[in-house]
Amino acid sequence: MIVFPAVDILGGRCVQLVQGRRDTATIYGDPLQCAESWLSQGAEALHIVNLDGAFGSSKLNAEKITDLITRTGVQTQLGGGIRSLDDARSWLDCGVDRIILSTFAADDPDCLTILSDEYGSDRIMAGVDAMAGEMVTHGWEKPAGNFLEWADLFIKKGAGSLLYTNVSVEGLCRGIDPKPIRELLSVVSVPVVVAGGITSVADITLLREADAAGVVLGSALYSGKITLREALEAAG
């Protein structure tokens, strides 16, 4: 199981948010330095989020993110404000291994088919952001229906993997809710990376045993509630 340290970028700086709210940002410094720190501690992949993109300014941080991808040279998955085919193609062409489409995929599921045909499904990840069993889009503000039905549609349309985020526990460092994760993993046929609330070795062990393909570590890692070494060991 792959451990993805999160490098979330807002205003050119590496930050962590609580429940996706901009006003909760804790700043951790230069994104490249943060990324290199995790890599020096054993990480072999990064989860990058262009938060300015998620908040509506998709072009912000592009140069900084491209530089980070080029200089680290590790496996990367990137999301945040990718709302058009042109946006998606530009990130894929700049060297991101896999892009994450959530609101765009929900608004226009055929975008997954188009991009999978052009770049290969292994480079196209659909984001399933859920709260109380319901998919939420547009900055986690718009309910969109059963998250399992959306996951099934995304796979049928061409997504080669899924990023499942439990919005209810995201950023709170209080642990995961295993029930919806197990429900999702039991019915899908593609790799699933899990985010949201992962705080302890026990959380990671449970996800490994449930056959998750990867975990994203954000607030718990940056706040020291779990070390990267502990996470890597638990992930096997």
Annotated active-site residue 129? The verdict is yes
Give me the pLDDT at residue 172, please.
75
Annotated active-site residue 86? The verdict is no
Structure tokens at 101: 């489409």
Catalytic residue among 86, 93, 110, 129: 129
Give me the pLDDT at residue 173, please.
83
Angle, CA 186 vertex, CA 206 and CA 1 arms, to 5°:
40
pLDDT along the chain (236 residues), means of 10: 97 90 91 97 97 77 91 95 92 94 96 98 97 86 91 98 92 88 96 95 97 96 96 97
Give me the pLDDT at residue 58, please.
65
Give me the pLDDT at residue 140, please.
73
DSSP string of 34-84, one letter each residue? HHHHHHHTT--EEEEEEHHHHTT-TTTTHHHHHHHHHHH-SEEEEESS--S
Report the chain's C-alpha Rg in angstroms.
16
Strand partners, 130: 135, 166
Q: Work out the angle between the directed axes of helices 147-157 and 178-187 (0-180°, nearest 10).
A: 30
Structure tokens at 154: 């995304």
Amino acid in the structure at residue 86: D
Give me the pLDDT at residue 216, please.
97
Question: Is the pTM higher than 0.85?
Answer: yes
Does an H or E element contain 100, and which?
A: strand 98-101
DSSP string of 123-137, one letter each residue? GEEEEEEEETTEEEE
Give me the pLDDT at residue 53, please.
81
